[in-house]
Structure formats: C-alpha cells, structure tokens
Chains A and B, each alone.
Chain A
Amino acid sequence: SQQGEEDPQALSIQEGENATMNCSYKTSINNLQWYRQNSGRGLVHLILIRSNEREKHSGRLRVTLDTSKKSSSLLITASRAADTASYFCATSPSQLVSNFGNEKLTFGTGTRLTIIP
C-alpha cells in the first residue's frame, strides 16, 4: 500500500507565486524525500529530510516535517515556468517498523504542478 499521499493532486499557479504541496504518511519514518518528474522523464531527487529534522532548505525549496502529524510540506518560492512538473514524496520506514533491514522507499501518487507564465 502507498505510504505517502500528496495533496493536492494538481495545482496551477501564476509564475512568481509560491507553491505548497503536502505529503501525509501512516507509519514512523527513517527519512522522507521529495522528487520531481518532468513529463515522460525519470525522477530527480530534490531534498531528503530525516525524522529528527524539522526543516531543510535548498535554493528556492523549503521542506518541513512534522512527525507528530505524520506530514511534510514542500514549498517552492518564486515559481518559474521550468518548475512545471510532478512532485512526489517518498518515505523510508523506521527500523522498528521495517524489522531492521527493509527500509525501502515507498512513493506517493504525486502532485502535478503547472506554472502559468
């Protein structure tokens, strides 16, 4: 079953605005990762946040993690047309959940982001 679920499923904003996507998950995690996928291409890793971290930044990206609510958000500031893509969260279960050895990633269904020029 899917561990991460993104919200919203689709988002359209004007260029220059900020875009926020959310990811909720069910079980305790080791880390949570965000990936981007341009249409018909492979996924590209954006950022990894560990379970003991609350916020990370990378350029125009800001990721937060709330383990008490089992949720994460990805904020893209000052959006550009090139940010148009699908964004996926992926979770790796904690060792207690995975029985110490099977912390493989589980991907959500993604948020499709469209930036309108």
Chain B
Amino acid sequence: DGGITQSPKYLFRKEGQNVTLSCEQNLNHDAMYWYRQDPGQGLRLIYYSQIVNDFQKGDIAEGYSVSREKKESFPLTVTSAQKNPTAFYLCASSMVGLADTQYFGPGTRLTVL
C-alpha cells in the first residue's frame, strides 16, 4: 500500500521543548517537503529536499530543522526557537522535480501548551 505517512496525528508540547515530527514515504520519490498551515490559511513552505543528504530552506525555516539521511524519511524538528509553533504540519513528496504533482500525508497537528 503505497503512500506517505506522518506521525503522530496529534502532538502536544510544552514551551521550551524541541519536538520531532515523522514523515515516511514508500513512493520512491526523490523530493520531499514540509509545510505549515495555520487556520484558514494556505500552505507555507518550511524546508524541502530533492536528494538524500541535501535540503533547502523554504519561506519560513527559522526555528525548524530537518534531516534527509534516507530517501524514504524526512523528519522535521520544531525547536524552542520557533516563536509560534502551534499549527498543522503537512509533509509531501513528489517524483523528481519541484514542479511535479505533490502527494501529501495526513498531517500532524502540533499544539504548544
């Protein structure tokens, strides 16, 4: 069953803590992305990666970090430096290019208490 998975679905964090969101895909896609979505808003790009061991900052990378050690995995860490981390986080992948169709995971809702 091919697809892209994110875990956990809901995540609660205390202020000052780092937290890592998981994203895994078995579509054999080269490119992976992390987006943030705030209520009633569109998607804003946090980080993206086109190849293993390489990634680029998106529009709102401050306070976030990523790694791409395996083609299938692209975890996102929300650090304590992120001022307003409460949001819905979406991971996506595309076959090769940045202009290709993107396939999304179900999302992780992060709430900072």
Chain B interface category by residue count? 20 to 34
Q: Which residues of B contact A88 (CB under 8 A)?
A: 42-43
CA distance A40 to B102 in the complex (A): 18
Does B18 belong to the interface (CB within 8 Å)? no
Specify which of A44, A106, A109, A110 is in contact with B104 (CB 8 Å cutoff): A44
Q: Is the CB of A2 within 8 A of B42?
A: yes
Q: B residues 27-78 with Cβ under 8 Å of A?
A: 35, 40-43, 45, 48, 58
Q: Is the CB of A110 within 8 A of B106?
A: no
CA distance A103 to B40 in the complex (A): 25
Does A12 belong to the interface (CB within 8 Å)? no
Does B85 belong to the interface (CB within 8 Å)? no
Q: A residues 1-21 with Cβ under 8 Å of B?
A: 2
Type the 1/0 row for A94-108, where 1 means its CB is closer than 8 Å to any CB of B.
Answer: 000000001111111
Min C-beta distance of A91 to chain B, whole Å: 9
Q: Is the CB of A103 within 8 A of B90?
A: no
Min C-beta distance of A99 to chain B, whole Å: 12
CA distance A45 to B104 in the complex (A): 9
12 CB contacts below 8 A, A to B, read A35-B102, A40-B88, A41-B106, A43-B43, A43-B92, A45-B103, A88-B43, A92-B99, A106-B45, A107-B43, A109-B41, A109-B42
Closest 10 CB pairs of A and B: A42-B104, A92-B99, A104-B98, A103-B99, A109-B42, A107-B43, A43-B104, A107-B42, A103-B98, A45-B101
